[in-house]
Amino acid sequence: MADPAARTPARPAALHAAPKGPPPWNNPRVRAVVFQIVALGLVVWFGWTIFNNTLTNMESRGITTGFGFLDNTAGFGILFSLIPYDESNTYGRTFVVGLLNTLLVAFLGILFATLIGFLLGVARLSSNWLIAKMALVYIEITRNIPPLLQIFFWYYAVLRTLPGPRQSLDLLGAVHLNNRGLYIPWPHPETGFWAVGVALAVAVTGAALLLRWARRRQDQTGRRFPAGWASFGLVLGLPLAVFWLTGGPVAWDLPALDGFNFKGGARLIPEFIALWAALTIYTASFIAEIVRSGIEAVSHGQTEAAQALGLKRGPALRLIIIPQALRVIIPPLTSQYLNLTKNSSLATAIGYPDLVGVFMGTTLNQTGQAVEIVAMTMAVYLTISLSIAFLMNLYNRAVTLRER
């Protein structure tokens, strides 16, 4: 028979003992630290191996390292450049030329894609059945076809099959389209044009002051002033009036057929037009869908509330619907802008000299310095993406609903 008293002293001792934590291999905090050290170690080891391999490989292939190549003479021509460039310039300048070309097509693409996209998005919601369906067909066709295919189509199937300069398609005798590109008139400001610029600056300042005054007056007295129309008229009308009074100090440089080619005006190369058209058309369909869903996302109660307050359709849209729709529209819209900018790198497939085509293509082939060039190119795109993402986060923080 066991004596119960014999075991009792052990119990209080166990109770008073300090509570022991789990063994270290089961302690979440210890495990987290170990896990992170291991992960970091693996990444460092991986990076180090790659770095070593690259160094050895480059040495055995006789590739030099460093950014010294940027000062060497490039020795190749570039089809299209916004800044003066010729073969005697450096590789560093090819980088700038490519970057500017990328930014040009991205900027124009974004501008037109936004215009067409908003138009299509509204058309998609139109009460007119035919218009809504036509917008739908456009959107469903263009957004489901790869952008590269669209670029090829415009370039090889449309622009390259156009007639030569002598049979080029004319618009009002001023704009000419042929297989060498699009020729448009280009304005050259003459003496006295500065007055128009000054007038524009004065008009913009005046419009800003007018808007402020109108808002203050409405806040204080409740009386409204059509400040929107007035400032619009001011900004448009004053420079035009000055332009007319000074006798139109702009000379238009018209393209004209001279021998076998056009002289004068500005020439947009077919590569640029194909890329720009395809990117605009492709991205516009995505923007249209974003705009449509943004407008649909504003709940119907908001429209009813605006009606109940006695707002007409115009002010209701401007003051109630659009601000709320924009909150939904703008974040995906920016990511479409980023996509368009990144898609502009498809230029290299048809030979438009953008950053990837010029710098990551020709310059890389000539110098062989893959690591530096790829890193620089990616850094450019990363900078654009991350800065836009940063701005987007700021915007999001500013417009998020503040709930109580």
Partner 1 sequence: MPATDHPAAGGETFRPLPPRPPPSSTIGPLRWARDNLFSSPLNVMLTVFGLYLAWLIVPYLVDWAILSADFTGSTWDDCPSDGACWVFVGARLDFFIYGHYPPAERWRVDIVFLLLAVVLVPQFIPRCPGRLWLGVFGLTLYPVITGALLLGGVFGLEAVETGSWGGLMLTLVLSYVGIVAALPIGILLALGRRSSMPVIRSLCVVFIELWRGVPLISVLFMASVMLPLFLPDGVNFDKLLRALIGIVMFQSAYMAEVIRGGLQGIPKGQYEAAAALGLGYWRATGLIILPQALKMVIPGIVNTFISLFKDTTLVLIIGLFDLLGTVQSSIVDPAWGPVAVEGYVFAAFCFWVFCFGMSRYSQTLERKLHTGHKR
Rounded CA gap, 178 and 170, in Å?
9
User: What contacts 203, CB < 8 A, 6 or more positions away?
Assistant: 234, 235, 237, 238, 239
Among 89, 283, 348, 363, binds partner 1 (CB under 8 A): 348
Among 7, 300, 397, 404, binds partner 1 (CB under 8 A): 300
For position 386 contacting partner 1 by CB under 8 A, the verdict is yes
For position 400 contacting partner 1 by CB under 8 A, the verdict is no
For position 34 contacting partner 1 by CB under 8 A, the verdict is no
Based on CB atoms, which residue is closest to partner 1, 53 or 218? 53
Interface mask toward partner 1 for 158-197; x: CB under 8 A: ---x------------------------------------
For position 152 contacting partner 1 by CB under 8 A, the verdict is yes
230 token code pair: 């007035």
Among 208, 241, 309, 378, binds partner 1 (CB under 8 A): 378
Based on CB atoms, which residue is closest to partner 1, 208 or 371? 371
Write down the least CB distance from residue 309 to partner 1, Å. Answer: 20
- Cβ atoms < 10 Å from Cβ of 83: 9
For position 157 contacting partner 1 by CB under 8 A, the verdict is yes
Count of residues touching partner 1 (by CB under 8 A): 55
Rounded CA gap, 74 and 353, in Å?
14
For position 305 contacting partner 1 by CB under 8 A, the verdict is no
For position 299 contacting partner 1 by CB under 8 A, the verdict is yes
For position 302 contacting partner 1 by CB under 8 A, the verdict is no
Among 108, 122, 349, 392, binds partner 1 (CB under 8 A): 349
For position 16 contacting partner 1 by CB under 8 A, the verdict is no
For position 129 contacting partner 1 by CB under 8 A, the verdict is yes
Rounded CA gap, 362 and 360, in Å?
6
Residue 355's alpha-carbon distances to 32, 84, 298, 385, 399, in angstroms, are 43, 16, 40, 15, 35
Among 125, 198, 382, 391, binds partner 1 (CB under 8 A): 382
- Cβ atoms < 10 Å from Cβ of 167: 10
Q: Are 94 and 355 in contact (CB under 8 A)?
A: no
In DSSP terms, 175 is beta-bridged to 171
Q: Are 352 and 108 in contact (CB under 8 A)?
A: no
- The H or E element containing residue 365 is helix 364-367
For position 140 contacting partner 1 by CB under 8 A, the verdict is yes
Among 261, 324, 345, 367, binds partner 1 (CB under 8 A): 345
Rounded CA gap, 69 and 75, in Å?
13
The CB-side HSE value for 19 (13 A sphere, CA atoms) comes to 1
177 token code pair: 């389209």
Burial label, 240 (beta-carbon count in 10 A; 0-12, 13-18, 19+): middle
Q: Which of residues 49-108 bind partner 1 (CB under 8 A)?
A: 50, 53-54, 56-58, 60
The CB-side HSE value for 216 (13 A sphere, CA atoms) comes to 6
Which segment (36-44, 107-115, 229-237, 325-333) binds partner 1 by CB under 8 A?
Answer: 36-44
**Chain residues that interact with partner 1, rule: CB under 8 A:** 32, 35-36, 39-40, 43, 50, 53-54, 56-58, 60, 126-131, 134, 140-141, 144-149, 152-153, 156-157, 161, 299-300, 342-343, 345-346, 348-349, 356, 360, 364, 370-371, 374, 377-378, 381-382, 384-386, 389
